[in-house]
Amino acid sequence: MDLTYAPPARFRDALDQLHDVVAREVGSDDFGPADYLPGLKVFLQSMDYDPRFTEHGHRAAWGQVVHVLKGRAHAIKAMKANPGFDARPIVSPVVITGVPRTGTTALHRLMAVDPRFQGLQTWLLDSPMPRPPLDSWAAYPEFQKSMAVIEARYAAAPQKRAAHHIAAEEVHECCMLLYQSFNSNILSCSWSSATYDAWQRSQDERAAYDYYYKCVQLIGMNDPDKRWLLKNPGHIENLDLLFAVYPDAKVIQTHRDPAKAIPSLVSLLMNLHPIYEEGRYDQRAENMLVREVNVWSDAVRRCDRVREQHPGQVLDVVHADFHRDPMGVLERIYAFIDMDIPDDTRAAMAQRIEDKPELARGAHRYAIKDYGMTEEQAREPFGDYIQRFDLVEKKA
């Protein structure tokens, strides 16, 4: 969200204006292959039709679209400025995925303590470029901008800190690169966008994954021998595409009772609603829960089918096991990815586990009954998935 850009009266008429604004800001009018344009056009049309923007929300939404397209223009400019960035393939990355709110973030940030991994820091997702030395980050205008944007978002929705904290210098999700192709599930999250969502659900995301892969190569070009640690819940929807770009990936799939995980996701996403829209809060929340249950139950089934074609490349981690014995789960993961845990790394991980940084900003409160659905109704579309991983907490 960025409020510094004057929005158009009608988004669907503003395609040229959008490109002009971004080209001036980035200093380049090269946006790479045109495969991003169909999704961008549908998204702009959807912005006129689906949400009920407040005056503030209208401006904030436009700023968000500018922000996403700026990321793409910045990446293409950096690729042209760094010939040979894609000379080295990405070898055996470790990729964390699973239904959202199943512990992917906590596991990702815990494993990122290991200095042998490299990851996608938030500020480099906003402005993809070869990762500079850590001690120079604070001097980069792009880093400063990312910090300012993040703080503005939390000022507008303080409760979001407890639900899902983000920092410019910390590792973040692959989806922040994938949505720069304007063909991504994440674009349906901030405000009502049923028109775009209906279009996107029928699309092949291969071009988005190809762009994403090049961005990962670009960001890591200064550390070509350092192993990647990546994370994105949405990869379970496109596990075939993930393996297409990373054939030797080691995937960690997390699991949690959907009747707990998906209402948590809806609660997180609905924190954004008052920033952009007025009215319909309860109705949208109920519609969103139905939509997310269907999306992620379908994603689990699609993931299962792809897993069968890649034996030995996916490790399952149950949320309750990770909370009960995080070091034991880490031991399993490191054996799976063929790495050891040095003593100093083990100590740093143990300290993070003890500190519980995910709880430092308060507890995330939500209840499925607030969204017009029972736990049994949320579980039913997942079929035998819940039984296979014994995900329903036993009552004492």
Instruction: Residues 11-388: name the CATH superfamily.
Output: P-loop containing nucleotide triphosphate hydrolases (3.40.50.300)
Q: What is the pLDDT of residue 164?
A: 43
What is the pairing mode between strands 94-98 and 250-255?
A: parallel
Q: What is the pLDDT of residue 134?
A: 87
Cα-only R_g, the chain: 20
238 vs 174: CA distance, rounded Å = 12
More confident residue, 163 or 319: 319
Locate 178 and state its tokens: 């994938």
pLDDT tens, position by position, 338-356: 999 999 999 999 999 998 8
Residue with tokens 């990851």: 119
Say if CB 80 and CB 30 are below 8 A apart: yes
pTM of the entire structure? 0.92
Domain ranges of the chain: 11-388
Say if CB 51 and CB 192 are below 8 A apart: yes
pLDDT tens, position by position, 88-144: 999 999 999 999 999 999 999 999 999 999 999 999 999 999 999 988 888 988 888
Q: What is the pLDDT of residue 163?
A: 45
pLDDT tens, position by position, 369-378: 888 899 999 9
What is the pairing mode between strands 250-255 and 227-231?
A: unpaired
pLDDT tens, position by position, 214-231: 999 999 999 999 999 999
Say if CB 109 and CB 242 are below 8 A apart: no
The SS3 assignment for 253 reads: strand
263 vs 284: CA distance, rounded Å = 13
pLDDT tens, position by position, 171-199: 899 999 999 999 999 998 999 999 999 99
Q: Has residue 1 got a pLDDT over 50?
A: yes
Locate 152 and state its tokens: 């503005």
Reported as a pLDDT band with limits 50, 70 and 90, residue 147 is confident
Say if CB 186 and CB 175 are below 8 A apart: yes
Say if CB 306 and CB 240 are below 8 A apart: yes
Kindly report the CA angle at 285 between 283 and 288, in degrees rounded to 5?
A: 110
279 vs 288: CA distance, rounded Å = 15
Residue 130 carries which DSSP code?
P
pLDDT tens, position by position, 227-251: 999 999 999 999 999 999 999 999 9
pLDDT tens, position by position, 299-341: 999 999 999 999 999 999 999 999 999 999 999 999 999 999 9
pLDDT tens, position by position, 9-45: 999 999 999 999 999 999 999 999 999 999 999 999 9
Q: What is the pLDDT of residue 360?
A: 58
Q: Has residue 161 got a pLDDT over 60?
A: no
pLDDT tens, position by position, 263-301: 999 999 998 999 999 999 999 999 999 999 999 999 999
374 vs 391: CA distance, rounded Å = 16
Q: Has residue 393 got a pLDDT over 70?
A: yes
Q: Has residue 153 got a pLDDT over 70?
A: no
